[in-house]
Amino acid sequence: MSALLELEGVTRRFGGLRAVSNVTLAVPVGEVVGLIGPNGAGKTTLVNVITGVHPASEGTVRFAGADITRLKPYQAARRGIARTFQIVQPFSGLSVLENVAAAAMFAGGAAYGDAANDEAMQHLRFVGLGEVANKSAASLTLAMRKRLEFAKGLAMRPKLLLLDEVNAGLNLNEVEAALELIRAIAARGVTVLIIEHLMKVVLSLCSRIVVLHHGELIAAGAPQAIIEDPRVIEAYLGRRYSRAQAGSNG
């Protein structure tokens, strides 16, 4: 299967610090890929490089075959790269509907006015927020704000959706609902790259996992291979988790 996103030798420096170091990877079209690693491993920085927030200091980022290494965030968005943020900050002065319509007009190519609102409403119904469309975004619960992030991302008509800790702060039922939503998005043909700390989520959702540690790519492959990789166990999972997994599979 061809790669939608390709990184070759990507490095990002902040002064003397290498937050991301010589990362080479490919995200195939139509897959859900997990990006894991300890806090400070460089996961969000890598997403920022992909989306143009922090351009790569070295290396190349390609999307759908085109070099996007030096694109600005709005240019990357208009090519079909959407993202959610770990800290959810909707436009609090706007309604739920207006938040999504803004994304549809800015990056999704929707016409202004009724056309944008109609499209926004479709996305809100899809994520389960149709009934609160006219409420203030500031009034939403955390779980609903997370769903609003999904709707805003979908309004950008993405080919690639980057999800940064979308389950952080959610309870078990809310996490299960979010998982179903991500599967439904993937079923629409959207490629997904998800940063996630909950291994249960990663293992149930992802066809492939990428592991960062100290900014370096230390492993990439199928979920079972990743959780058995000694480097991943040492850097992130821990031996207790590995033994527990072995016991559950025995």
pLDDT in tens, 50-98: 999 999 999 999 999 999 999 999 999 999 999 998 889 899 999 999 9
- The Cα–Cα gap between 136 and 94 comes to 6
**What's the whole-number mean pLDDT along residues 216-236?**
94
Distance of CA 114 to the CA centre of its chain: 29
Which backbone phi and psi does 238 adopt, to 5 degrees? 85, 155
Cα–Cα distances (Å) from 24 to 8, 58, 190, 225, 229, in that order, read 4, 12, 22, 19, 19
Residue 237: band (very low, low, confident or very high) from pLDDT cuts 50, 70, 90: confident
Confidence class for position 1, pLDDT limits 50, 70, 90:
low
Mean pLDDT for 155-169 is 94
What SS3 state is found at 121? helix
**pLDDT of 200 over the 80 cut:** yes
* Per-residue confidence (pLDDT) for residue 214, from 0 to 100: 95
- Per-residue pLDDT at 243 exceeds 70: no
- Whether the CB-CB separation of 81 and 27 falls below 8 Å is answered with no
For the stretch 89-137, pLDDT in tens is 899 999 999 999 999 888 756 667 788 899 999 999 999 999 999 999 9
Question: Could you report the per-residue pLDDT of 7-47, keeping only the tens digit for each?
Answer: 999 999 999 999 999 999 999 999 999 999 999 999 999 99
Which pLDDT does position 87 carry in this prediction?
86
Give the per-residue pLDDT at 238.
81
- pTM for the full predicted model: 0.91
Q: How far apart are CA 137 and CA 144, in angstroms?
A: 9
Domain ranges within the chain, ordered by starting residue: 1-80+158-224, 89-157
Domain 1-80+158-224 part of CATH 3.40.50.300: yes
